[in-house]
Amino acid sequence: MDVTSLGFYSENSYYGYKGSMLSPLIKFLCLFQSVTESFGAAISSLNAVHLTDTVIHRSKRMMLDTLGVGLLGTSTAVFSKALQYSQFFKSVERSSVWGRSGMTLPPQYAAFVNGIAVHSMDFDDTWHPATHPSGAVLPAILALAETLPTQTSGLDLLLAFNAGIEVQGQLMRFSKEAHNIPRRFHPPAVVGVMGSAAASAKLLALSPAQCVHSLAIAASSAGAPMANAATQTKPLHTGNAARRGLEAAKLALLGLEGSQAILDLESGFGVFYSDYSPSELPGTNGGCGGGFRWVLEEQDVAIKRFPAHLGMHWVVDAALEARAKLGASGEPDLCKVQKVVLRVPPSRYIDCPFPAMEHQARHSFQFNACSALLDNQVSVNSFSGPQIDRPALRELLAKVRVENPQDNHPSFDKMYCEVTVEMEHGESVTARCDTFYGHWRKPLSQEDLVGKFEANASTVLSQEAVESVVDIIGNIEKCPDCTVLRSYLQMSRPTTHLFREHLG
């Protein structure tokens, strides 16, 4: 129960209670508010004044990176298959498919295919506790914004995006288990669908009760087993999260209801965590709990430099340093490598000794370490068939041994990687990475982040469109109509003065 819905709240008092009497009354009323209701109230009441400079800055970086990896992802086989399937569905409402000039789909399917594109190469942002927060949210609200009867401002989009990110961050803090590299289910399919529902509910301006039902409906679409990691099905987890969250909010708008205690119960959202311990979301209006603070304010995301599982970034940076030590007096002769030892945290699904396809390679400590040693880099092209199958790589993979030191915890906040390379003539070098460049402790510079976007987006868009998207996202809070993005994301060539006019 949200105290503001009782009918006796005003800006300075609750039914005439002021001063020292106000706090005890709020505490009394809060006894009747469930965790789920606190989330519904917060989602509904969030407004632009709650956005801080740090949150705006970080979320704009997340949005730009997500669009870039999504545009690049439209070249993948999994995206093409999902697009082919989605074109069977028709509706009056239509939303844009990124990177496809003039192509539209029903909004939930546009969210689906664009979400798949974002995660198709495992190139999207990663958070702590572990999930990919943006890919489930941004495709949903961009698709939804195109269908709304009123103009959606960039600030509206930014607020909805952050509502979706916040819900994910809060839910993951209900479990200590969630802090580790996942073992049983893929988090975007669990917290991501809840974030999509929250963001969509915010953009639809749903009431607190409708926001509660959005979360409840979305929870019944949550879940995806980790057995599908390193396969073409894994990107569907993000696409489904975007789609199902959007559908949940639209169903709640039509009056569909679900459990009003979905976040409170072990038989509700608690089914995903053995140590589930939910707590109320602090109020945004001075009400129950007070003191609202964004999770994103305290915990930044990691931005990847190459398209692979986040754990690969530690092993690549360590391997590159080891290679540099070997080549201090010239190019290292890797034909004379006798053994490569990787000291990494235990995680079964990213321990893949001999990957046979790109999705396995993106989840292989061994492949990424050997690629870095051989090529002095890991890039988008590293995961192509010819690169995976080359004899030199296969020979080096056969020399790799993996160790799991007890002090190397399977957490993106605590793990490290050591790479030792032993040569035939007795030389041995070791390099260790505790924090890779791009991690939240060592974030990409703005120049490098924009450079990543430009490299990815330019594979699909014209140079004018690439520059325009950078400009729009960089000033999104000033843009009166966020759907101006649509034209640029579909490779059309509107004149640059169009965005200037939108900024006024």
Which residue in this structure is represented by tokens 């964004």? Answer: 294
Average pLDDT over residues 129-145: 97
In this predicted structure, the answer to whether residue 492 has a pLDDT above a threshold of 60 is no
Query: Percent of the chain having pLDDT more than 70?
Result: 89
Burial 273-302 (b: 16+ CB within 10 A, else e): beebebebbebbbebbbeebebbbeebbbb
Q: What is the per-residue pLDDT for 420? A: 98
Measured on CA atoms in the order 103, 108, 109, 111, is the torsion positive or negative? positive
Tell me what pLDDT residue 181 has.
Answer: 78
pLDDT (0 to 100) of residue 31: 54
For 422-478, how does the pLDDT look when each residue is reduced to its tens digit (9 = 90+)? 999 889 999 999 999 999 999 999 999 999 999 999 999 999 999 999 999 999 999
Q: Of 69-83, 318-332, 393-407, 472-486, give the lowest mean pLDDT range.
A: 318-332
pLDDT above 90 as % of the chain: 82
Average pLDDT, the chain: 90
Average pLDDT over residues 306-330: 94
In this structure, of 69-83, 141-155, 244-258, 277-291, the range with the lowest mean pLDDT score is 277-291
Q: How far is residue 453's CA from residue 482's CA, in Å, rounded to a whole number? A: 19
pLDDT exceeds 70 at position 494: no
**Least confident stretch, 53-62, 324-333, 446-455:** 324-333
Cα–Cα nearest to 368, from 442, 431, 419: 419
Say if residue 497's pLDDT is above 90: no
The tokens for 37 are: 């209701």
Mean pLDDT of 258-263: 96
Tokens in use for 345? 């945290």
How far is it, in rounded angstroms, from Cα 66 to Cα 155?
Answer: 18
Largest CA distance in the chain: 85
Categorize the per-residue pLDDT at 292 as very low, low, confident or very high, splitting at 50, 70 and 90. confident
Cα–Cα distance for residue pair 23/10, rounded to 1 Å: 14
| Average pLDDT of the segment spanning 71-99 | 96
Residue 213 structure tokens: 């039902």
Please report the pLDDT score of residue 284 as a whole number.
63
pLDDT at 201 exceeding the cut of 80: yes
CB atoms within 10 A of CB 254: 7
What confidence score (pLDDT) does residue 502 get?
Answer: 40
At 369 the pLDDT is 98
Its sign, for the CA torsion 460, 463, 466, 472, is: negative
Q: Which residue has the higher pLDDT, 502 or 353?
A: 353
